[in-house]
Copies of this chain bind each other. A is one copy, B any other.
Amino acid sequence: MADIQSLLSVREIKALDKNGSDTFASVLLVRRVTSKTAKNGNPFLTVELGDKTGSFAQNVFGDSPAFDLFTSLREGGVVRIEAKLDYYRDALSPKLLSAEPITTDQLAGSAVLANLVETAPEDADALWTEFQQHIAAIRHPDIRATVQAVFDDIGESFRIAPAAVAMHHAYRHGLLEHTTHMARAARALLPLYPEVDPDLALAGVLVHDTGKVIEYQGDLVTTKSRRGLLQGHVVLGYQLVRKAGMKVKLASDLLERLEHIVLSHQGELEWGAAVIAATPEAVFVAKVDDLDAKMGMVQRLLRNAGENPADEFSEKHFGLNSQLLLTKPKTQTATST
């Protein structure tokens, strides 16, 4: 994996002249493997490969050296391929020249991962360090201990989970990023709303979405888990908090208020809230969540458009319900006057 620079992304492969016959190398995620049997009785596989820029499918026949490799790999595996550009019936379908698996260890030490799946733009380690400080900022010892117990319980998975499958912060580390951003916003706002208990509110922010660690499954390819489909992240998060609070013996008045923040943070029943926010802290957390979720959509659209967007407006965004203006305000000209 020395020469990552020469690896092509799917977008780059598709940008090649379709009528050409280039060879290329690429590191790709195995999104799906389906076993089939040809009319002559021979088995073959249909393999979908991709990265964060796109994907394509191709057949791997039993006499191919890659057949065994893809048979053993599962959804979410990673391979390095060399191939010759080819199209079959209008769809990219390269001829495999070689294929070798990339192990989790190799990935961990490489910049390739960032090409496979979209990742939070901020450094995950720095976010996690900051996150610890937000926990430490809870002054009430039992509330702090409860929050700590939740994260001791769910551990590493919180760091890499996305905050959603398709909406705001829907990318690797997105849950950590969203929660950390909410903690920053909450701590900036709490001095302005003294009727909101700062310890409960900050704790509520930190744990509000932890149920998503169970609701979503898959390291590189995210889907909803069985528990996610049968209970939903609101109830799952409530259960995590309840378990931690019981363990820590958090006073029942406080535990009930903390659970209530989790149960109500989705804002409206039809958006999945189990109940409507009925404490100052719960109203506050639900609104900070809504604000950062919407701002996260804005940030992602601007980031994907880059510094000099080709279009003045984005496509219509489902979550914002509008097309976002992508160009910056022309404040420089004016202030230079």
Q: Which residues on A are within 8 Å of B, measured CB to CB?
A: 15-17, 20, 22, 36-40, 42, 44, 87-91, 139-143, 181, 184-185, 188-189, 191-193, 195-197, 199-200, 226-227, 229-232, 234-235, 238-239, 242, 250-251, 253-254, 256-257, 259-260, 263, 269-272, 274-281, 283-284, 287-288, 290-291, 294-295, 298-299, 302, 312-313, 320-325, 328-331, 333-335, 337
Q: How far is the CB of A185 from chain B (nearest CB, A)?
A: 6
Partner of A329, one of B44, B191, B200: B200
Q: Which residues of chain B come closer than 8 Å to A271, judged between CB atoms?
A: 269
Quick check: B333 and A251 within 8 Å, CB to CB?
yes
Cα distance, A192 to B178, chains bound together (Å): 12
Once the chains bind, are A275 and B334 in contact (CB under 8 Å)? no
A140 and B336 alpha carbons, distance in the complex (Å):
9
Given contacts A39-B20, A232-B275, A269-B269, contact A251 B334 (CB under 8 A): yes
Q: Assuming A189-B189, A269-B269, A335-B141, is B275 touching A230 (CB within 8 A)?
A: yes
Known contacts: A287-B295, A323-B229. The answer to whether A199 contacts B313 by CB under 8 A is no
Inter-subunit contact B283/A331 (CB<8 Å): no
Q: Known contacts A197-B328, A290-B287; is A20 also within 8 Å of B40 by CB?
A: yes
Are B141 and A334 in contact, with the CB atoms below 8 A? Answer: yes
Contact B188 A141 (CB under 8 A): no
4 closest cross-chain pairs (CB), A and B: A89-B90, A17-B38, A188-B188, A287-B291
Query: A251 near B330 (CB under 8 angstroms)?
Result: yes
